[in-house]
Amino acid sequence: MPGKSDRLGWQWLFLCLTGLVLLVGCASSPPDYTTQTKDPWEKMNRATFAFNQKFDKAVARPVAKTYVRAVPLQARNGIHNVLKNLGSPVTIINDLLQGKFEYTLKDTGRFLINSTVGLLGWFDVSKNMGLPDHGADFGETLADYGVPSGPYLVIPFLGPSSVRDAGALYPDYVYFNPVKNNIKPRYRNATSLINAVDERAGYLDLDSTLDSAFDPYTFMRDAWIQHRRYQLYNGNPPVEYPDYPDLPPDDNGAPSAVSDTKPAAAGTTAVPVASSHQPPAEDSPAPEKSSSR
């Protein structure tokens, strides 16, 4: 259990960061550069990923499968809901630090309702009251205030992350969850262990997809970066056009996705099509018309 100095440290950190919110004002979407994650440490990350995969196949995955077989679905759902409810203070505090006061009120109401009417969160009553589950963490808060992502980083046992998000784990775990941190250490440790098993069980359906990937490391990295970007923009990331990098923009400023070549019919040759940005050559012969209708 955290001592008096730990509680004072949490209070000072909370007050300082709340003051930062009041000085800076309400945060909006994070700057685009804070959501871009590169992988310059690929060699090291691949080694860590290989270690994590061996540990997962030897320990984590069998434990998760045993948990699913031994515990009925309704009980697993209840345990999952309780664990999510225990983590709600982390979301609420980060909502406040990000200046998202509407989310702060909604997530606070969700936490209070599920903790009382929902029997400590066993039943997700709030979901049926228009208060769906919403997550926020200190990594998102730092991104909102312009802290760059830093290189992609695979953490032993924990998996994909970034330098910024890895550094944000400690404040979330130690300072932003007074509910979990004020229970007895043996219960807190048990909660963390059950949470790890519950989270791993939630990914069992994806194991076959990852195992069959041509390069599991690249598959996991790209999926995590895309999902993290989705989280940072609250499910509404700006549109990107990676498939058409060389095409000029259309009237709306977005690259045109229209190909310059019509698909050829079976047994024929593709015919170039004149587009608004590529006029046909004046001396080029016109394509012959087909005699068939």
What tens digit of pLDDT does each residue of 119-169 get? 999 999 999 898 999 899 999 999 999 999 999 999 999 999 999 999 999
Bridge partners, residue 242, by sequence: none
Give the confidence band of 280 by pLDDT, cuts at 50, 70, 90: very low
Element (H, E) at 162: strand 159-162
Reported as a single tens digit per residue, the pLDDT across 237-264 is 887 655 545 545 545 554 444 444 444 4
Helix-, strand-, coil-residue percentages of the chain, each rounded to 5: 55, 5, 40
DSSP 8-state symbol, 262: P
Helix and strand numbers (H, E) in the chain are 12, 2
Please tell me the predicted confidence (pLDDT) of residue 240.
64
Tokens 């069959």 correspond to 212
CB 65 within 8 A of CB 173: no
Q: Residue range 276-291: average pLDDT?
A: 46
- Tens digits of per-residue pLDDT, 3-22? 544 554 555 455 455 555 44
Model pLDDT, residue 219 = 96
DSSP state, 123? S
Contact call for residues 82 and 122 (beta carbons, < 8 A): yes
Q: Contact 26/101 with Cβ under 8 angstroms?
A: yes
In the chain, what are the domain boundaries? 4-232
Nearest to 199 by CA among 57, 52, 80: 80
Closest Cα partner for 120 from 156, 148, 88? Answer: 88
Indicate whether this model's pTM tops 0.85.
no
For the record, the structure tokens of 169 come out as 């784990």
* Better pLDDT: 24 or 235: 235
